[in-house]
Amino acid sequence: MKRLAVLAALAAALATSAAAELKAGAKAPDFTAPAYLAGQPFTYKLADALKKGPVVVYFFPAAHTQGCNVEAHLFSDAIDQFKAAHATVIGVTAGKVDELAAFSSETEHCGGKFPVAADPGAKIAKQYDAILAQKPDWSSRTSYVIAKNGDIVHVYSNLNPNDHVTETLNAVKALK
């Protein structure tokens, strides 16, 4: 009986954290973070990116992990479609941040086509309520589409990486 109660509490905690992401209509928290594009370090500023148009901020658990590798490659393959819709993409992770320089340039991942930002301590992920329940020091797999005015217009949270590009690209296209 005690074990059942513990399992029920765990299930409730996981369900709560999975549905805790910021909602459409909320103001996106501004952030500045160390980032890499094609292996080169720079400082990413969300406010600067929003001046150019909508931004897709996708949180992912960690570089060089199976689902994250797939997701990065899918975003890399679709980057021209995002650019055609005048949107930029930034991946943000709290996991394995020491591997981001390589991850950003490797053809099988980001391919140097969009930046990835380091979020040590998951500070940015916490602002976005995008924390991985199973590993709270890592980001969840949650994607946000942020309009040029800073409002969140679409949120998609799913550990399966396969639909994040379709979800965010459709939301970006709907902004026109």
Q: 4-58, pLDDT tens digit by residue?
A: 433 333 333 333 334 468 999 999 999 999 999 999 999 999 999 999 999 999 9
pLDDT reported for residue 109: 92
DSSP state of 26: S
pLDDT reported for residue 176: 79
Q: Give the side-chain half-sphere CA count within 13 A for 83.
A: 8
- Tell me how many helices (H) and strands (E) the chain has: 6, 7
Which residue from 36, 95, 89, 39 is spatially nearest to 68, judged by alpha carbons? 95
Q: Which residues contact 26 (CB under 8 A, 6 or more apart)?
A: 151, 152
Q: 142-159, pLDDT tens digit by residue?
A: 999 999 999 999 999 999
Nearest-angstrom CA–CA distance, 96 and 135:
13
Q: What is the mean pLDDT of residues 107-135?
A: 95
Nearest-angstrom CA–CA distance, 61 and 41:
20
